[in-house]
Amino acid sequence: MTIANIDAAWIDAALTAACPQAMAALLRYFRDLDTAEEAFQDACLRALKAWPKNGPPRDPTAWLILVGRNAALDGVRKQSKSAPLPPEELISDLEDAEAALVDRLDGEHYRDDVLRLLFICCHPDLPATQQVAVALRIVSGLSVKQIARAFLVGESAMEQRITRAKARIGAADVPFGAPNAEEREQRLTAVAAMVYLVFNEGYSAGGKELRTRGSLCDEAIRLARLLLRLFPSEPEIMGLTALLLLQHARAPARFDAEGAVVLLEDQDRSLWNGRMIAEGLALIDKAVRHRRPGPYLVQAAIAAEHDRAERAEDTSWTRIDLLYGDLEQLAPSPVVTLNRAVAVSKVAGPQAALAMIEPLAPKLSGYFHFFGLKGGLLLQLGRREEARVAFDQAIALANTAAEAAHIRLHLDRLMKEGAG
């Protein structure tokens, strides 16, 4: 690889890294998503030409904001010659302006901008898929093509989805003022949930889709780290970042060469990413000091219990059961209880776990994992016919081919044993 190649890679990485902050600042200035997006893209194009020639600027983000702003203002002036010219300070010599801007952009100024941008993406009027799509488009700067590939839909369908979402955001009364402390807290919760959604889009992908969708996991981790830098003392953001790292660390072992699911207990743990695990554990360590455990932190602690076990049989299911108990209190949901039942089956046996999940049936009648676990527990208890019914229901509800294939393995085994 030549130096020039590295430079191209560096510019690419720098543009990606600057995207949330630059987009956020441009959005505050123009108060219009499309204009801000065009301005940022324009600035990126100019960076690709200018940086290799002149060397990269001292602060790439500030450069992009300023150049993007000027380019967009230029466009506006060309479109309406009668409009008054923008204030001179905004289009004056780049060098001076950059220095001034860098001072203004230092430190905390980015914080509310980026938070506002992320919050706009998780506007409550938007369905979750649109939130994620818009966030990836606007905050991560992924192309429509990349996002469409990740969601396994056509490019034009994704374009439509994003356009609709933007129109809805445009029609809604989006607050552009700096958020107060209470709003900030509400927004942070919504934003954390959206980052988690982005991650899950990638995480729930099957083996064959992993290459395209797995990058969504990386993107979510990048966003979580960004949030953590903006809010360095929020234990739940530490917990969220840790959770994503600890789950994604296992990605290289989650599917076999054919793309079939490899269960946690069967995974080759030497394939797990040790650096991600170390980072996740360090973040939990930091968060625990705050003594304000929230749902993300507890989930991260559960993931940590798995990641720390060198062999599957070293897993402390007792501690996992206790942690799920905490989670049930902090964020009660039938899915949490279902997950706890897995730990209970290891600690107290399948009968206890089955008794625990049976009351969940009405709420989880459309949930793949409910029937998967139920089938597994019934099988352990030797109730084969009931197990087969549960597995059939699971297959009907599977979200990915890999999920269905995994249950089919159980069924095949049942059939064979039944015949033999």
Partner 1 sequence: MLYAILCYNFEDVVGAWTAAEDALVMARLGVVEAGLAAAGRLGAVGRLLPTTAAVTLRKGREALVIDGPFAETKEQLLGFYVVDCGDLDAAIDVARELAVANPARGAYEIRPLAVYRPGHLSEARAKRSPRVLGVKA
By CB under 8 A, name the binding residues for partner 1: 1, 3, 6-7, 9-10, 13-14, 16-18, 56, 58-59, 107, 222, 225, 228-229, 232-233, 238, 241, 274-275, 277-279, 281-289, 291-293, 297-298, 301, 304, 307-308, 319, 322-323, 326
Torsion of CA 47, 51, 57, 63, to 10 degrees: -10
The minimum distance between CB 282 and partner 1, in angstroms, equals 4
**Helix, strand, or coil here: 255?**
strand
Tokens of 5: 């190649």
| Of 314, 335, 311, nearest in space to 324 by CA | 335
Residue 84 and residue 44 in contact, taking contact as beta carbons nearer than 8 Å: no
| Of 45, 24, 4, nearest in space to 120 by CA | 24
Torsion of CA 406, 408, 409, 413, to 10 degrees: 150
The minimum distance between CB 296 and partner 1, in angstroms, equals 11
Whichever of 297 and 402 has its CB closer to partner 1, that residue is 297
**H helices of 31-143, where?**
33-54, 60-79, 94-105, 109-121, 128-138
Amino acid at position 344, single letter: V
Whichever of 14 and 336 has its CB closer to partner 1, that residue is 14
The minimum distance between CB 228 and partner 1, in angstroms, equals 5
DSSP state of 231: S
The minimum distance between CB 292 and partner 1, in angstroms, equals 7
Whichever of 14 and 158 has its CB closer to partner 1, that residue is 14
The minimum distance between CB 281 and partner 1, in angstroms, equals 5
The minimum distance between CB 285 and partner 1, in angstroms, equals 5
Whichever of 230 and 407 has its CB closer to partner 1, that residue is 230
Whichever of 46 and 286 has its CB closer to partner 1, that residue is 286
Element (H, E) at 379: helix 368-380
**Helix, strand, or coil here: 261?**
strand
Whichever of 9 and 355 has its CB closer to partner 1, that residue is 9
| Of 32, 114, 26, nearest in space to 62 by CA | 26
The minimum distance between CB 54 and partner 1, in angstroms, equals 14
Whichever of 260 and 322 has its CB closer to partner 1, that residue is 322
The minimum distance between CB 244 and partner 1, in angstroms, equals 12
Whichever of 272 and 371 has its CB closer to partner 1, that residue is 272
**Helix, strand, or coil here: 25?**
helix
Counting beta carbons within 10 angstroms of the beta carbon of residue 145, is it exposed (0 to 12), middle (13 to 18) or buried (19 or more)? exposed
> What is the Cα–Cα distance from 116 to 109, expressed in whole angstroms?
12
> What is the Cα–Cα distance from 200 to 219, expressed in whole angstroms?
11
Whichever of 73 and 245 has its CB closer to partner 1, that residue is 245
> What is the Cα–Cα distance from 195 to 219, expressed in whole angstroms?
9
**H helices of 106-234, where?**
109-121, 128-138, 144-150, 155-171, 181-203, 210-230
The minimum distance between CB 79 and partner 1, in angstroms, equals 34
